[in-house]
Amino acid sequence: MSEEHKWKKYLKEDYHEVEESPHSKDENWEKIIMEVSQAHQHQKKIPKKSLLAVAMIVVIVIGSAFVQTNQMQAFDWFVKMFVTTDGNTTQINQTTTEEKDVSTGALPDFDNITTEEVQDEESKEMTLEEAQADTDFNISTPTYLPNSYQLESVTIFYDKAPATHVQIEYVNDGNDVVTLHQTYQPDDFADAKVVDNEDTKIKTIALDGGEARLLEFKDDVRQIIWSTPQMNWLLEGTENERNLIKIAESME
Amino acid sequence: MLKKIFKKSEPTHEEFRLVYDMFYSRVYRDVYFITKDCHLAQDALQETFVKAYKHMNRLEDKERMGAWISTIATRTAIDVLRKRKGAREVLTEDIMIQEKNMEEKGSDTLHIVEANLVREELLESINEISAEYREVILLRYIHELSIREIAHSLNINESTVKTRLHRARKKIKEKVQHDPKRQWIGGE
């Protein structure tokens, strides 16, 4: 039996070996119901739903006044990043398009817009060479890695055929993890990420002659998000900002 | 869309009882796995169901209720541990496992079947790591949630989940390897 199987087997056995609860199931139920009833009595009145809806719309309209846009052009591709703040949350949008001019204000062709439900993708761990053979794009790796980071795993996600998303993980002696996500986008593409402003600081940083977004989460994790023609990148780890930028700039 | 959001409401008494019956054992095992104390587990179980009742209308995918309620349970169990035992004993992510002296067991240990020894020491080391590490181990290896699901449910980054799993596994392995009486897990 492999070590992993042993782990799981023993863990599951341990999980099912519990000391009985001092109270019976029904006694616990009574206490829960009592707690729920008390909470109901103390519940503050919330605004009517219709007022909430209006408030949301107002926030969105006001928030749209604080939109920052950054755009870069490479070859025939435009890469745009929007950052929209509406108080509690910030939305980061990435779009890539092959159009010559994306600022004409013309409405998009709604017939050609498709949406995809985000779901858990099937994935497979493999070597870098196998991953390269299984994808239609060049998988880049950083030439700079600080603090004894070593390649830990390469994972391909099969949400599309051929695969367009690769994740490369590096782990150092302290078990810190740096993860690089590379997503190939040969077609026009738009993506958005919403973050909570209380937990996350967002800033624009210079990266290899272009711009990127640096997100700093309260659990000391940082992400750098950037786009290049036909490729979206996300680098994540607990390394400091300077090191993460150096890693991002060393992609080859 | 607004209509869809607003049509949700709190569960009825009967619905809530059904959820309670369905997940009582699972939740109790989850919180016991974290607290390793039946009294704390009982408190955490009650708080978990109160929270689940209050937030059930936010659950989009009812088929994921088991995973959802397990993450509430593990979070609540950690909170209960913090309140009851004091912050010193509930280690945060960056603090390593408690260095408890491993005392030699009596000579009867020698007669225990190999497999039982392995299991016993593995579980002993798991119980010594911090509650946050046990939480990700529980969600990953027992409930078999993906890294992404764990990160989403606990509102932490995928990197943090991976780091905790790496550290937990390494610490458990080290603990067992450095136990002078047992070195059952080989090298890399």
Residue B167 has what pLDDT?
80
B58-78 mean pLDDT: 85
User: What's the number of domains chain A is made of?
Assistant: 1
Give start-end residues of each CATH 1.10.1740.10 domain in chain B: 11-90
Determine the distance in angstroms separating the CA of B106 from the nearest CA of chain A, rounded to an integer: 23
- DSSP codes, A106-155: PPP-GGG-------PPPEEEE-HHHHHHTBSSPPP-BS---TT-EEEEEE
Give start-end residues of each CATH 1.10.10.10 domain in chain B. 107-182
CB within 8 Å of A183: residues ≥ 6 apart: A164, A165, A231, A232, A233, A234
> Is B29–A223 a contact, with Cβ atoms under 8 angstroms apart?
no
Residue A176 belongs to a domain: yes
The pLDDT value recorded for residue B162 is 85
Tokens of B57: 């209308």
List of chain A residues whose C-beta atoms are within 8 Å of the C-beta of residue B24 = 25, 28
pLDDT in tens, A92-130: 666 555 544 434 333 334 344 343 333 445 677 888 888
Which of A31-40, A104-113, A159-168 comes out lowest in average pLDDT? A104-113
Does residue A18 belong to any structural domain of this protein? Answer: no
pLDDT exceeds cutoff 90 at B44 = yes
- Class of domain B11-90 (CATH, top level): mainly alpha
**Boundaries of domain holding A156:** 53-98+123-249
Please answer whether residues A252 and A139 qualify as being in contact, where contact means their C-beta atoms are separated by less than 8 angstroms. Answer: no
The answer to the question of residue A1 being in a domain is no
In a domain, A211, yes or no: yes
Mean pLDDT (whole number) for B25-40: 93
Sort out which chain B residues have CB atoms less than 8 A from A16's CB and list them.
29
Residue A6 has pLDDT above 90, yes or no: no
User: What pLDDT, on a 0 to 100 scale, did the predictor assign at position B118?
Assistant: 64
Q: Which of A71-80, A86-95, B29-38 has the lowest mean pLDDT?
A: A71-80
Scored b (16 or more CB within 10 A) or e, B158-169 reads bbbbbbbbbbbb
Residue B186's pLDDT is 39
Q: A73-92 burial by CB neighbour count: b if 16+ within 10 A, else e?
A: eeeebbbbbbbbbbeeebeb
Between B28, B123, B158, which is nearest A179 by CB? B158
The C-alpha angle with vertex B109 and arms to B104 and B110, in degrees rounded to 5, equals 115
How many other CB atoms are there within 10 angstroms of residue A147's CB atom?
Answer: 12
Mean pLDDT is lowest, of A75-79, B87-91, B103-107, for: B103-107
pLDDT tens-place string over residues B110-162: 444 455 666 677 777 777 788 888 899 899 888 888 888 888 888 788 888 88
pLDDT in tens, A192-202: 566 666 667 88
> What is the H or E stretch that residue B115 is in?
helix B114-128
Cβ distance of A35 and B46 shorter than 8 Å: yes
Instruction: Note whether ipTM > 0.90 here.
Output: no
Cβ-count burial B1-26 (b if 16+ within 10 Å, e if not): eeeeeeeeeeeeeeebeebbeebbeb
Residue A111 lies in a domain: no
pLDDT of B174 higher than 60 = yes
Instruction: Please report the pLDDT score of residue B148 as a whole number.
Output: 87
Domain annotation covers residue A115:
no
Is B67:B23 a contact under the CB 8 Å cutoff? no
% of chain B with per-residue pLDDT over 70: 69
pLDDT at A221 over 70: yes
| Confidence (pLDDT) at B4 | 40
- Segment 132-161 of chain B within 8 Å of chain A by CB: 137-138, 141-142, 146, 148-149, 156-160
Fold classification of B107-182 (topology level)? Arc Repressor Mutant, subunit A (1.10.10)
Nearest CA in chain A to B38: A21
Mean per-residue pLDDT over chain B, rounded: 73
Give the tokens for residue A32.
């829960």
Is the pLDDT confidence value at A45 over 60?
Answer: no
